[in-house]
Amino acid sequence: MSTYQAPKGTFDLIPPKSATFLAVREAMSAVARRAGYGYVETPAFEDTALFKRGVGESSDIVTKEMYTFTTRGGDSLTLRPEGTASVVRAVLQHNLDKGALPVKLYYSGSYFRYERPQKGRYRHFSQVGAEALGSEDPLVDVEIIMLAAEAFRDLGLRQVRLLLNTLGDSECRPVYRAALQQFLRGLDLDEDTRARIDINPLRVLDDKRPEVRAQLTDAPVIADYLCDACKAYHEEVRSLLSIGGVAFEDDPRLVRGLDYYTRTTFEFVHDGLGAQSAIGGGGRYDGLSQELGGPPLPSVGWALGVDRTVLALEAEGVAVPGSGRGVDVFAVPLGEAARHLLFGLVQKLRRAGVSADFAFGGKGLKGAMKAADRSGARYAVVAGERDLSADVVQLKDLESGEQVPVPIDRLVSTIKEKLS
């Protein structure tokens, strides 16, 4: 065994479990594509200032969790801890905001945060995200939320809950902020938490420590301070979700972990995951473009956690369709002539869109059939000298055990018919 291992807080994705991760990513991406979202891919690292300005100086991500390094040229770069700031930067850099709005984009990739490793919370994790940029319309908020709900439903999850809140805007939030600050200053909080009261008191509401949460029971809630415009906007989002058949729970203390959110904010949770119950979430971020030096660009989006969604599937005992299957066909040659023939047939199957593998290394029949079983194949194609002299191969159904001879020149069409 190698003396090297994956860094603390990370893990390797290897077969067969990696197939589940791929299936989850694809299901999440598919709902976005069906709704007209185009794919965007940004660098794995960006200027550190982008995240400090976009994510927020007061967030745990910026103050404690970013992987930041200095290049040989003296530039400060950071491995991306989240996706939205990078997407907004890309939209502004390439002038996508000058075209038809909203700009609808989705992405999939790896993200990095220096956190205390535990189940469901890793230092290297995978997300799929979707962003609709350039529209201040409650219907866009609802579309985004419904796409995420559809992704979880397509995966077969049934125990996902949607939490919903609003964070107000630049008109009403300052009034709420002042009331919250006054309340928080009367609590027994540690020095670091007290520092947040002046910088961004909403961050205190997101504190997961029991000793802090116990003191927040009587904290003022944003719903009592909303301006008429924000109140009407939120009520329309709630109404449209209900019309669309999406169940949700109002959570007046939901703030999420990023500073850029305004108005609509939401989170999908799964109670089978314990403390790390969030499997995705997002919200509206109407001022982020301006924070990054761009024009007003009201936007909304989400990020869904692939790792935690896989844990949720395991908690419910749900098998993702297609995630556990191996190749369609496994070729088992008996003899040198059969090796050459079947290897050529494997190439024909692959070109015809059929996944196929081969018993390399001159294994005997017993060893080759064990390899076929381990591959997860549906069918095995077996051939020896006697079969070749009759211009046939043996096609074995590895589920039923049924085996039939098939003419060599009809093998590809026969397998395609059976698979269809």
- Report whether 181 belongs to an annotated binding site: no
Q: Which pLDDT does position 17 carry in this prediction?
A: 86
pLDDT band at 203 (very low <50, low <70, confident <90, very high): confident
| Tokens representing residue 151 in the block | 């992704």
Q: Which pLDDT does position 158 carry in this prediction?
A: 93
Higher pLDDT, 401 or 321: 401
- Report whether 84 belongs to an annotated binding site: yes
Q: Which pLDDT does position 260 carry in this prediction?
A: 80
pLDDT band at 57 (very low <50, low <70, confident <90, very high): low
Q: Mind listing the pLDDT tens digit for each residue in 150-182?
A: 999 999 999 999 999 999 998 998 898 899 889
The model's pTM is 0.88
- Report whether 127 belongs to an annotated binding site: yes
pLDDT of 415 strictly over 90 = yes
Same domain flag for 382 and 351? yes
Same domain flag for 104 and 247? yes
Q: Is 323 part of a structural domain of the chain?
A: no
Q: Mind listing the pLDDT tens digit for each residue in 352-381?
A: 999 999 998 877 888 888 888 888 889 999
Q: Which pLDDT does position 121 carry in this prediction?
A: 84
- Asked if 42 and 80 count as a contact pair (C-beta separation under 8 A), the reply is yes
- Report whether 68 belongs to an annotated binding site: no
Same domain flag for 287 and 405? no
Q: What is the CATH number of the domain that holds 30?
A: 3.30.930.10
Q: Is 236 part of a structural domain of the chain?
A: yes
Q: What is the CATH number of the domain that holds 359?
A: 3.40.50.800
Last residue of a domain, one of 316, 339, 356: 316
- Report whether 83 belongs to an annotated binding site: yes
pLDDT of 148 strictly over 90 = yes
Q: Which pLDDT does position 198 carry in this prediction?
A: 82
Residue 8 buriedness (CB in 10 A; 0-12 / 13-18 / 19+): exposed
Q: How many CA atoms lie within 13 A of 123 on its CB side?
A: 14
Last residue of a domain, one of 252, 283, 316: 316
Q: Token pair 């319309």 is at which residue?
A: 137
Q: Which pLDDT does position 132 carry in this prediction?
A: 98
Same domain flag for 244 and 386? no
Span 292-314, mean pLDDT? 95
Q: Which pLDDT does position 356 carry in this prediction?
A: 93
Same domain flag for 256 and 404? no
pLDDT of 120 strictly over 80 = no
- Report whether 260 belongs to an annotated binding site: yes
Q: Which pLDDT does position 207 carry in this prediction?
A: 78
Q: Which of 72-81, 100-109, 173-182, 409-418 has the lowest mean pLDDT?
A: 173-182
Q: Is 32 part of a structural domain of the chain?
A: yes
- Asked if 346 and 330 count as a contact pair (C-beta separation under 8 A), the reply is no
Q: Is 37 part of a structural domain of the chain?
A: yes
CB count in 10 Å sphere of residue 19: 17
Peptide bond before residue 298 is cis, with ω within 30 degrees of 0: no
Q: Which pLDDT does position 42 carry in this prediction?
A: 97
Same domain flag for 53 and 108? yes
pLDDT band at 196 (very low <50, low <70, confident <90, very high): confident
pLDDT band at 383 (very low <50, low <70, confident <90, very high): very high
Structural domain count of the chain: 2
Q: Which pLDDT does position 258 carry in this prediction?
A: 66
Span 293-297, mean pLDDT? 95
Same domain flag for 343 and 297? no
Q: Is 65 part of a structural domain of the chain?
A: yes
- Asked if 117 and 296 count as a contact pair (C-beta separation under 8 A), the reply is no
Same domain flag for 336 and 410? yes
For the chain, the first-to-last Cα distance in angstroms comes to 43
Q: How far apart are CA 355 and CA 372, in angstroms?
A: 13
Q: Is 9 part of a structural domain of the chain?
A: no
pLDDT of 402 strictly over 80 = yes
pLDDT band at 324 (very low <50, low <70, confident <90, very high): low
Q: Is 388 part of a structural domain of the chain?
A: yes
Domain interval for residue 352: 329-419
Q: Mind listing the pLDDT tens digit for each residue in 338-352?
A: 999 999 999 999 999
Same domain flag for 285 and 242? yes
Span 12-22, mean pLDDT? 89
Last residue of a domain, one of 286, 316, 346: 316
Q: What's the chain's average pLDDT?
A: 91
Higher pLDDT, 373 or 146: 146
- Report whether 336 belongs to an annotated binding site: no
Q: Is 207 part of a structural domain of the chain?
A: no
